[in-house]
Amino acid sequence: MIRGMNEAFFDSTNYDVVVVGSSRGLVQYDTRVLDSILHVNSYNASVDGRGIISQIIKYRVFEKRHGKPKMIIQNIDCFLLGVDNGYEREQYLPYFFDKELFEMIKERENFSEAERVVPLIRYSGYEQMIREGLGIPNKMRKSEMYKGYRPGFGHWNGKELANVGKVGFTNNPNANSLFNEYLKECRNKGIIIVFVYAPLYSGAQQKITEEGLQEMYMTYNSFSELYDIPILSWWDSPICCDTANFYNATHLNARAAERFSIELAQAIDSLGIIQR
């Protein structure tokens, strides 16, 4: 958790391609594959458990320190434009020295001025963050991450999916507006954006209402037309039909993520939009 933000803050490498998404971006877009097929320097800047607002905040921090990329691969789905629930808000704690970041997140994440200036208050209750700060090894070995990509391991577990009822397309007006501003800013900076519907287990797709699907497609198609953004979709891919490719209904395992990333890189290459 700290590691991904550390790279955003303290590494100044310029990347050609940046992946932006939630955990579905984090564990499914293999930067090793993107680099090898597209011959680029890519980074996965996705944010675990977070929607577009937090994704944009991290991307802006990232761009400020690394410079603008040539391309952003933006993962899209029925969850992207929702409101964040504060998941892992502690990921921001070590970076309160950045006043711009603190101003962007303080109200949204409910941080107090006391937390900003007093570390003892800030880290209270966050044992894992303290352990990481002291250099005590995390559960995840460093070798399991590569340029922001975090492979997912484990075997299929469909218990959670079985307990889920019908879901719609979450389209929060504030998130939608911020997404529009972000896309406009990227276009004005000359950054190419590609929308991608990464694989989602077919059983999970069936949980989405027909109205939700229609609104989702209409929303992203509208952005695509407005900003001339190509859309690539794997929702009809054979990958989505086999539970052997997933460790849960919304996340590919590492083997299938590699397969998807190969197909994605080849599809992007065929568009002829990569500037080398």
User: What are the sequence ranges of the domains in the chain?
Assistant: 14-83+149-271
Q: Is 252 helix (H, G, I), strand (E, B) or coil?
A: strand
* Cα dist from 69 to 37, 48, 60, 274, whole Å: 18, 21, 12, 11
b/e for 3-21, b at 16 or more Cβ within 10 A?
ebbebbbeeeeebbbbbbb
3-state helix, strand, coil in the chain (%, to 5): 50, 10, 40
DSSP annotation of 240: G
pLDDT of 119 strictly over 80: no
pLDDT in the model for residue 121: 73
Residue 41 and residue 32: Cα distance in Å, rounded? 9
Assigned token pair, 133 = 């700060």
CATH classification code of 14-83+149-271: 3.40.50.1110
- Summarised one tens digit per residue, pLDDT across range 225-236 is 999 999 999 999
pLDDT of 1 strictly over 50: no
Q: Residue 59's closest CA among 49, 41, 50, 47?
A: 47
pLDDT in the model for residue 137: 57
- Summarised one tens digit per residue, pLDDT across range 68-116 is 999 999 999 999 998 877 777 777 777 777 888 888 887 777 787 887 8
pLDDT band at 25 (very low <50, low <70, confident <90, very high): very high
Task: State the average pLDDT for the chain.
Answer: 88
Residue whose token pair is 């997404």: 179
Cα 168 → chain centroid:
20
Helix or strand run (H / E) with residue 19: strand 17-20
pLDDT of 248 strictly over 70: yes
Residue 152 and residue 253: Cα distance in Å, rounded? 5
pLDDT band at 117 (very low <50, low <70, confident <90, very high): confident
pLDDT in the model for residue 256: 97
Backbone angles phi, psi at 3, to 5 degrees: -55, -45
pLDDT in the model for residue 157: 85
- CB of 151 closer than 8 Å to CB of 144: yes
The interaxial angle of helices 31-38 and 254-271, nearest 10 deg, is: 30
Q: How many CB atoms lie within 10 A of CB 226?
A: 12
pTM given for the model: 0.89
